[in-house]
Structure 1
């Protein structure tokens, strides 16, 4: 009797585990409706075993996104649509499609994040937070608390992306209002400004308290510098460190040492592991992925071979030039196969300046990690957002969709936003 009972308990336990895994994998709602990929995986090309569906469409210029523990989605729009710039999406029946859509706020921007009972969002000059209820819905959409004000907006790299650590700090990107700190920005042969003054107020990551109201720009700490522009950033829980994706500089062919092909293929888009005091070296250097070195920028006497100051931080990973990494997410879920756990997904928005080479990007890649650092080669995970090769030909700017934001659902599925057509994709694992 005892043996029979023990076996029954074991079988029941195993059945519960299997059911739990199945439910998480298929993201079934309480009603039992299964989340199914769209026909043709919504146009995306994915690894075997994965599927995709359009969870929402035409929501506006969908930049960064944040998922609640209930599976609802907050979307930050690049600019208000019908007077609303934060869109709340809810899947009422659990089929993977968001039926409810409401909005609030009225400011442009990119950054949005959920942490410790608050929704954080940024305009191009300020950072706000909204109190959340137990279901992580905003309590009072019309009365946000102002965390930071007075951030610069010079109409170049003006968006303010956000990340939060586990110690009550919020990190804000302040992009450089310059390509390479030339005396005359983007002018052929113009030299770089000595002791680049842009770095005094931009070109880095600033740290503020997440729980302190009405902080001025001057109240923040310049946590890292020498980063031209960071749109994608995330806090790595495995090693408790900030990671960022830098947009590399443009137009090396403004100088005779570089031809058009070199200008299209240099410099790398770089991932940095950021600690307090990190200096990525912009505008004085750029990272050459072929030579695997920091190279002195031509504005400061470089010729394509001279190495940069060794004091500048080396990137921890490098990717092809001019692909615009706009989203970074460390995957901590269990729905996807084990190889993806604690690795990084990166959304590459797509290029505009790789001519005469074909434009590149318009995909989401996966970067394996080990012990909190990149380990092994990156791989394309979700492709064909652009819709066709013709859309990304040399000089082409007709990509149908451009991935921007990334978020992980409570079931472990992956959400990808598109700021071109306003599509929200959901990627799920269906098994082999």
Structure 2
């Protein structure tokens, strides 16, 4: 249809599909590639206005619980969005009905934002959403924009390009990751108070009570897809680790645009193995043709044979990565 597709999750006997405002479940027979029959509406009338409307999905291993991203309507909850020195709304009204992850009964029809459960809050836009092998929820956080444009007395152009961090979050019920009051500064290594709420680029303030990310990445890389490797085709060090597809930046000027890659985060004992540890797994996607990049990773998924699939929404392609063995080649 014309409503757009923003999230998908497979279950036994069905596939969940999300538009900007609705989550549907299509029945499917095992071994078939196309749904059968009419879809069931699982959740309807979800917030769909403003900046961040994608409804990314993750399903629990038992198929009973569906997690849905409700991105923020604004960049930083200013009185006038994306405007020079406009203060933040305090408290931010968006936090009551979006800017977090919601939990729904995966088998119940006609739910809504009001009948679902707010699982975690203070998340600007969790475009990557996945459950680890141990069942815990993880998400990627798109950091805010325009620190320098909106607050030029506090941040220069280079700082605007580098800050704030992009984030990998380990999400438990009741967690608060601080948006819009806080953002993560990669240079300082922790959350700081946003200028809309009186911050000066170093002050922590109320952010001391917010949950820090598990891993932080360079600013504006745009982490979209997230999946955990449960296959056996790749070497053992990849098992249980996370792959993240970075869509790439649009707002790192005057520095070069960056991101446009898939990274791997090694895990040990259910958490990232080392502080802010990640490595580039696949790059070379950036190729400027005058009209913008020709390749942009957006989604990642692990196939039944252990291959890694990477979607590319600039070229309209799906890339398959296989391990052939020997010399660490892929």
Normalising by structure 2, what TM-score? 0.94
| 2:268 equivalent to 1:373 | no
Post-superposition CA distance 1:231-274 (Å, at most 9, x none):
11100123x21000000000111111111110110110011100
State the partner residue of 1:15.
none
Q: Distance in 1 between matches of 2:22 and 2:310?
A: 25
Answer 1 or 2: higher relative contact order, Cα 8 Å, separation at least 6.
Answer: 1
Q: Distance in 1 between matches of 2:156 and 2:51?
A: 26
Partner SS state of residue 339, structure 1: helix
1:308 Cα deviation from its structure 2 partner: 3.8
The runs of 5 or more residues in structure 2 that have no matched partner are none
**Pairing of 1:145-156 with structure 2 (within 5 A):** 145-156=40-51
State the partner residue of 2:318.
424
What is the Cα-based RMSD across aligned positions, in Å? 1.3
Task: State whether residues 271 and 316 of structure 1, in contact with CA within 8 Å, keep that contact through their aligned partners in structure 2.
Answer: yes
Partner SS state of residue 186, structure 1: coil
| 2:204 equivalent to 1:302 | no
Task: State whether residues 119 and 138 of structure 1, in contact with CA within 8 Å, keep that contact through their aligned partners in structure 2.
Answer: no
State the partner residue of 1:166.
61
State the partner residue of 1:284.
181
**Pairing of 1:213-362 with structure 2 (within 5 A):** 213-238=109-134, 240-253=135-148, 254-255=150-151, 256-309=153-206, 310-362=208-260
Task: State whether residues 50 and 72 of structure 2, in contact with CA within 8 Å, keep that contact through their aligned partners in structure 1.
Answer: no
Are the structure 2 counterparts of residues 246 and 213 from structure 1 closer, same or farther at C-alpha, using a change threshold of 3 Å? same
Q: Distance in 2 between matches of 1:397 and 1:307?
A: 40
Are the structure 2 counterparts of residues 183 and 137 from structure 1 closer, same or farther at C-alpha, using a change threshold of 3 Å? same
State the partner residue of 1:206.
102
Larger radius of gyration: 1
Counterpart of 2:298 (choices 404, 420, 427) is 404
Post-superposition CA distance 1:189-216 (Å, at most 9, x none):
1110010001111100010000001112
Q: Distance in 1 between matches of 2:139 and 2:248?
A: 17
Count of residues in correspondence between the two structures: 320
State the partner residue of 2:84.
188
| 2:280 equivalent to 1:384 | no
Partner SS state of residue 127, structure 2: strand
Task: State whether residues 327 and 348 of structure 1, in contact with CA within 8 Å, keep that contact through their aligned partners in structure 2.
Answer: yes
Task: State whether residues 120 and 176 of structure 2, in contact with CA within 8 Å, keep that contact through their aligned partners in structure 1.
Answer: yes
1:155 Cα deviation from its structure 2 partner: 3.8
Task: State whether residues 78 and 86 of structure 2, in contact with CA within 8 Å, keep that contact through their aligned partners in structure 1.
Answer: yes
Larger helix fraction of residues: 1
Q: Distance in 1 between matches of 2:35 and 2:187?
A: 51
Task: State whether residues 225 and 280 of structure 1, in contact with CA within 8 Å, keep that contact through their aligned partners in structure 2.
Answer: yes
Post-superposition CA distance 1:268-312 (Å, at most 9, x none):
001110011010100001111111111000000000110142210
Normalising by structure 1, what TM-score? 0.72
Task: State whether residues 131 and 138 of structure 1, in contact with CA within 8 Å, keep that contact through their aligned partners in structure 2.
Answer: no
The runs of 5 or more residues in structure 1 that have no matched partner are 1-104
Q: Distance in 2 between matches of 1:313 and 1:136?
A: 42
1:342 Cα deviation from its structure 2 partner: 0.4
